[in-house]
């Protein structure tokens, strides 16, 4: 009887843990490698957002960290930049602690070396499509031609339905060509500490 009770508690805890997760559509950016293509499940957030499904196009040869493909975002010399987003399956609630992880990288051979400069990744959440209401993460400049797993922990200030990933160099107008690679976004889950309170 005691073993059965322990088993039921374990099952309920695991069910509650899985139920509390928010899974993103196409979180590993799977698709047919091609340039100027928004991955299925994502939408462009800025004018001239033409991300690339990699590897292959533009001379990028880094292997995906998960699955077969990943996404590349760039900034351009005219100050334009690329960003993509999607609507979450469940809203992020204010004053709750959340966390997720993702892999970010860089290519030294993006379009030859025309877009080989390192960039940062910025991640925003907000109430509407392509909104930038709350910055929840900004990476360092990513220079290594390899994958780095990063953890993102945040608390929404207000209810958020959308997430946005943005290639970033500097505030204001800039003249800079660079790239950032993204793959393998985990589910967004409540922090264990928050779920036990």
pLDDT 10s digits, 54-95 = 999 999 999 999 999 999 999 998 889 999 999 999 999 999
- Higher-pLDDT residue of 109, 173: 109
Does some domain include residue 43? yes
Evaluate if residue 9 carries a pLDDT over 90. Answer: no
Does some domain include residue 89? yes
List the CATH number of the domain containing 174: 2.60.120.260
Does some domain include residue 83? yes
Burial 181-190 (b: 16+ CB within 10 A, else e): bbbbbbebbb
pLDDT band per the 50, 70, 90 thresholds, residue 192? confident
Does some domain include residue 182? yes
φ, ψ dihedrals at 149, nearest 5°: -85, 130
Distance of CA 53 to the CA centre of its chain: 14
Mention every residue, 6+ apart, whose C-beta is less than 8 A from residue 23: 89, 187
Q: How many domains does the chain have?
A: 1
Residue 175's pLDDT is 76
Residue 189 vs residues 5, 34, 180, 183: alpha-carbon distances, Å:
26, 32, 25, 18
Residue 25 vs residues 39, 40, 42, 87, 149: alpha-carbon distances, Å:
10, 8, 8, 9, 19
Residue 174's pLDDT is 65
The pTM assigned to this predicted structure is 0.86
Distance of CA 167 to the CA centre of its chain: 11
- Higher-pLDDT residue of 80, 194: 80
For residue 169, what are its two tokens? 């160099």
Does some domain include residue 18? no
In the chain, pLDDT over 70 holds for what percent of residues? Answer: 86
Does some domain include residue 160? yes
- Residue ranges making up the domain that contains 138: 23-196
Does some domain include residue 14? no
Across 73-82, 160-169, 181-190, least confident range: 73-82
Does some domain include residue 7? no
């Amino acid at each position: 009887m005691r073993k059965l009770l322990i088993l039921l508690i374990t099952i309920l805890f695991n069910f509650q843990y899985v139920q509390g997760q928010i899974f993103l559509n196409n979180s590993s950016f799977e698709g047919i490698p091609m340039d100027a293509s928004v991955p299925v499940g994502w939408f462009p957030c800025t004018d001239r957002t033409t991300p690339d499904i990699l590897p292959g196009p533009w001379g990028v040869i880094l292997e995906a960290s998960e699955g077969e493909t990943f996404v590349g975002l760039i900034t351009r010399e005219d100050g334009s930049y690329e960003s993509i987003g999607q609507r979450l399956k469940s809203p992020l609630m204010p004053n709750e602690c959340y966390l997720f992880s993702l892999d970010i990288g860089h290519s030294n051979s993006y379009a030859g070396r025309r877009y080989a400069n390192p960039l940062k990744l910025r991640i925003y959440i907000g109430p509407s499509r392509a909104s930038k209401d709350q910055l929840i993460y900004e990476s360092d400049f990513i220079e290594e031609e390899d994958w780095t797993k990063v953890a993102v922990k945040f608390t929404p200030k207000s209810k958020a339905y959308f997430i946005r990933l943005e290639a970033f160099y500097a505030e204001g107008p800039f003249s800079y060509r660079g790239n950032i690679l993204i793959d393998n976004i985990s589910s967004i889950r409540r922090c264990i500490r928050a779920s036990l309170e």
